[in-house]
Amino acid sequence: MMKKLAALFMIFTALNVYADDNIDLEFTGTLAAPTCSASFESTNGTDIHFDTIHYGDFMDSQNGDVITTGTPVSAFIRLSGCGSNVANVILDFTSGKVSGYGFSGKAVYFQWENDQTNSELGVALFRNSTNQTVDDAISFQANNPESAQLTDLINDNGDYKFPLFARIVMANTNNGYITGQMTGDLTATAQVAVSYE
C-alpha cells in the first residue's frame, strides 16, 4: 500500500562571527500521514467468484460484449481507521494481463488454470451495478487511477466502502470466433495500489 506524504524541510545555517552568546532554537511538530487500513471483500470472501457459464452463453459474442448481463458479482474495498486528515482515496488498478482488444485496457484476461494461457474472456470492474459499457469500466492501465472523496463512499459504522461490480466480458475473440480451449477453470488476477490525500 502506498501512502503519499507531504513534508516541508527547512535548513537553517548560521554564521558565527565574533558571537558572544549562542541561542539554541528547537522546532517541534508532528507530520501525520494520511492513512487508512485497506482490505478487499466480496460476497464470496476475498475472491470474486462467478457462477459457471457455458460456451453457449458467449459463442456468438464479439470483442467488447458483456457476457454476464444480469446481476454483477459485488465486492468492495473497505477502508478502516481513516484519520481525520484523510479526505480522498486514490485507487490504481493494474494487472499483467490487461486486454488489448475487447474492453481494451479495462478488462483483465481470464487464464486457463491448467496452462496459464489467456482465454477469450476477461473480467471488468464497474463502480455502479447497472453499468456495462467500456466507458464506465474501471481502467487497469497503470497511472490511470480511480479516486473518490471518503464522504462519497458507503459509510459502514465508521469504515468506508469503495464499491466494485464485476462482469465477465469478451476480451479477445479471433476474428469473431472462439478458438482454443472451451472448458475448464479460469482465474484472473489484478492489484490495486491505494493512496490517500
Domain spans, the chain: 37-196
The fold of the 37-196 domain, in CATH, is: Immunoglobulin-like (2.60.40)
Tens place of pLDDT per residue across the chain (197 aa): 444 333 333 333 343 444 455 555 556 554 555 688 999 998 777 888 888 888 778 878 888 899 877 889 999 999 999 988 899 999 999 999 999 888 999 999 988 888 888 888 899 999 999 999 999 999 999 889 999 999 999 999 999 999 999 999 998 866 555 666 667 888 889 999 998 88
191-196 and 88-94: which strand pairing?
antiparallel
State residue 15's pLDDT score: 39
| pTM, rounded to two decimals | 0.79
The angle formed by the CA atoms of residues 139, 40 and 151, to the nearest 5 degrees, is: 75
**Count of C-beta atoms within a 10 Å radius of residue 145:** 18
